[in-house]
Structure 1
Amino acid sequence: MTGSIVVGVDGSGRSLRALIWAAHEAASRGRALRIVHVLPPAHAYATTPEGRAWEAGQHDRGVVDEAITVVKDAHPGLEVTSALPSGAPPAALLSEAEHAHTLVLGAKGMGGFGSLLLGSVALQVVGHAVCPVVVVNYLTTGHNRIVVGTDGSTHSDAALAYAFEQASLRGIPLQAVHAWTRPGLHGLTTAGALDEAARAHRKDLEDWLAPLTRQHPEVEVVKHLPEEDPMLALARASDRADLLVVGSRGRGGFRGLAMGSVSHQLLQFSQCPVAVVRPHRTPHAG
């Protein structure tokens, strides 16, 4: 297990943003960066194996070489490796994830990464990768805040651990968002019951945070408990964040986050990179 930061590139502007984010992440953690370009099944105009091999050598190698140049210019001392696997992009990326600390992808791309955000590639990679997957739609800096969504599920526990690690690494505050809906039929309830529900949700959030605040006393934590749909609350919070962290699934409003309509909306409308974290493998320290 190499523990590299792995980034998928395809020569598009979107994958360039993912490359920039991944290179910064690798440099910050003192880890190697692995640049992966998935070869499509066939190349545009080549009709022979020799012709396809020549096109691959000219175009696909050029995509990787350009990515390496961009990274080396920004981070001269960073260890960089590369790979050009062939086949179905989801399978190739999931194979890379087996040995990665984090897998980073652009929100959309061309060629093997076509329709990455809204198609089956994103669903399979985000839903099944064993390591955290960061989808970069926008590059954001200067907000000095990590946002994490939490609902008490095992998946959101993994997201919390990753978010605390990111906040500690960057030396910036963490905003923990726990969105909830009021009890009662159609939201109709008494003021007393509403206050009690709010107190109960705040206590739950404090209990979920307690082990990690003890582990990371250096991280300033801001608690946010909006009475709102979780996806909307997180999308709003992403507008003032450098990274949004969510579990791959959850309970209540987070159910099916990695595989259903909520993930599509959140990955599409987040105003910052989104990290999706699964519970069975937490990130390595550092």
Structure 2
Amino acid sequence: MSDPIVVGVDGSGRSLRALVWAAHEAALRRCPLRIVHVLAPAHSYATTEEGRTWEAGNRDQGVVTEAAAVAREAHPDLEVTSALPSGTPAAVLLAEAEHARTVVLGAKGMGGFGSLLLGSAALQVVGHAACPVVIVNHVTTGHRRVVVGTDGSVHSRAALAYAFEEAELRRAELQAVHAWSHPGPHAYVSAAQDAMAKEHRQALEEWLAPLREEHPGVDVVELVPDEPPVIALARASDRADLLVVGSRGLGGFHGLALGSVSHHLLQFSQCPLAVIRPRT
């Protein structure tokens, strides 16, 4: 059996949007969908009254039952399984990621997932998961465009490979963005600035060349904006169905789980964000 798309659900509207995206992704990739609802550690139930424990168990089971029904209704041929493991959300989902094709989470959620803006289990999963992680703030459709940010780093090359796959699956245009910032005033246009822009464009073409050969049907648009990467990618995400970035770029410190660009885009992306780490 192929590795599944794993989606974390908690009964919130945001996790429902993550479920919708994950089910569509699993259908596109023709792989199973695994729905995971993390229960509080068992000892916390033991301290409650028996009736409350039974009520909580019914509610938890209802969350996964409803999620599975939604996924099967949208994609009748999709293989759907579910699990209610006990533990901390980050630990459970990181363990799931070891055998997953992708882990999908809502941008914010109730209970264990918390708020990405404040640091949460979801943020830990994004920074440390062994597989791609997609954070869904809201589901966008109809743009038929995938955007990927790249800077030549190992992480961004993994992001490029993932983005080409997604664009091919979705029959979408791929916008490859290599943002850079000229050290001088932006109003000042010089021969040196033009030369730098040409150099960055040539580098982007080199990074794209092998993947273009591997995916000849993907229509690629190259963008080399002279502006900070977060601004360029956040703007591009407003017209995309998926934004793809590496977990760290060339500017990251060794050992850091998540780079500043990917971290900021968790807040500012206007479409689902895929954060990619190279498989080791």
Shared fold per TM-score greater than 0.5: yes
Evaluate the alpha carbon distance shift between residue 190 and residue 22 of structure 1 in structure 2; reply closer, same or farther with a 3 A threshold: closer
Task: Give how far 1:251 is off.
Answer: 1.0
Task: Name the SS of the counterpart of 2:201 in structure 1.
Answer: helix
User: Contact conserved, 1:248 with 1:257, CA < 8 A, in 2?
Assistant: no
1:235-254 matches, within 5 Å, as 235-252=234-251
Aligned to 2:180: 180
Aligned to 1:284: none
Distance (Å, rounded) in 1 between the aligned partners of 2:47 and 2:146: 49
User: Contact conserved, 1:142 with 1:242, CA < 8 A, in 2?
Assistant: yes
Aligned to 2:200: 201
Deviations 1:68-93 (CA, angstroms, capped at 9, x unpaired): 11111111111100111111110000
Evaluate the alpha carbon distance shift between residue 257 and residue 16 of structure 1 in structure 2; reply closer, same or farther with a 3 A threshold: farther
Aligned to 1:231: 230
Distance (Å, rounded) in 2 between the aligned partners of 1:208 and 1:92: 35
1:122-161 matches, within 5 Å, as 122-161=122-161
Aligned to 2:277: 278
Distance (Å, rounded) in 1 between the aligned partners of 2:41 and 2:65: 21
Distance (Å, rounded) in 2 between the aligned partners of 1:3 and 1:45: 32
Letter in 1 for 2:225: P
1:86-101 matches, within 5 Å, as 86-101=86-101
Task: Give how far 1:226 is off.
Answer: 0.6
Q: What percent of counterpart residues are identical?
A: 72
Task: Name the SS of the counterpart of 1:199 in structure 2.
Answer: helix
* Greater than 6 Å deviation, 4+ residue runs: 42-46, 186-190, 253-257
Evaluate the alpha carbon distance shift between residue 69 and residue 237 of structure 1 in structure 2; reply closer, same or farther with a 3 A threshold: same
Task: Name the SS of the counterpart of 2:245 in structure 1.
Answer: strand
Deviations 1:117-136 (CA, angstroms, capped at 9, x unpaired): 53231331001101000000
Task: Give how far 1:206 is off.
Answer: 0.4
Deviations 1:4-59 (CA, angstroms, capped at 9, x unpaired): 00000000000000000000011111111000000123799974474564234211
Task: Name the SS of the counterpart of 1:77 in structure 2.
Answer: coil
Distance (Å, rounded) in 1 between the aligned partners of 2:107 and 2:117: 5
Letter in 1 for 2:62: G
Aligned to 2:63: 63
User: Contact conserved, 1:179 with 1:233, CA < 8 A, in 2?
Assistant: yes
Evaluate the alpha carbon distance shift between residue 22 and residue 43 of structure 1 in structure 2; reply closer, same or farther with a 3 A threshold: farther
5+ residue gaps, structure 2: none
Aligned to 2:109: 109
Aligned to 2:213: 214
Task: Name the SS of the counterpart of 1:148 in structure 2.
Answer: strand
Letter in 2 for 1:252: G
Deviations 1:205-245 (CA, angstroms, capped at 9, x unpaired): 00110110111111010001110010110000000000000
Deviations 1:165-197 (CA, angstroms, capped at 9, x unpaired): 00011111100000001145x679761101110
User: Contact conserved, 1:6 with 1:96, CA < 8 A, in 2?
Assistant: yes
Letter in 2 for 1:251: L
* Length, aligned pairs only: 280
5+ residue gaps, structure 1: 282-286
TM-score, normalisation: structure 2: 0.92
Q: Please, what is the CA RMSD of the aligned residues?
A: 2.5
User: Contact conserved, 1:38 with 1:85, CA < 8 A, in 2?
Assistant: yes
Aligned to 1:170: 170
Task: Name the SS of the counterpart of 1:14 in structure 2.
Answer: helix
Distance (Å, rounded) in 1 between the aligned partners of 2:262 and 2:148: 14
TM-score, normalisation: structure 1: 0.90
Evaluate the alpha carbon distance shift between residue 112 and residue 64 of structure 1 in structure 2; reply closer, same or farther with a 3 A threshold: same
Distance (Å, rounded) in 2 between the aligned partners of 1:159 and 1:62: 36
User: Contact conserved, 2:230 with 2:265, CA < 8 A, in 1?
Assistant: yes
Task: Name the SS of the counterpart of 1:100 in structure 2.
Answer: coil
Distance (Å, rounded) in 2 between the aligned partners of 1:255 and 1:177: 24
Letter in 1 for 2:248: R
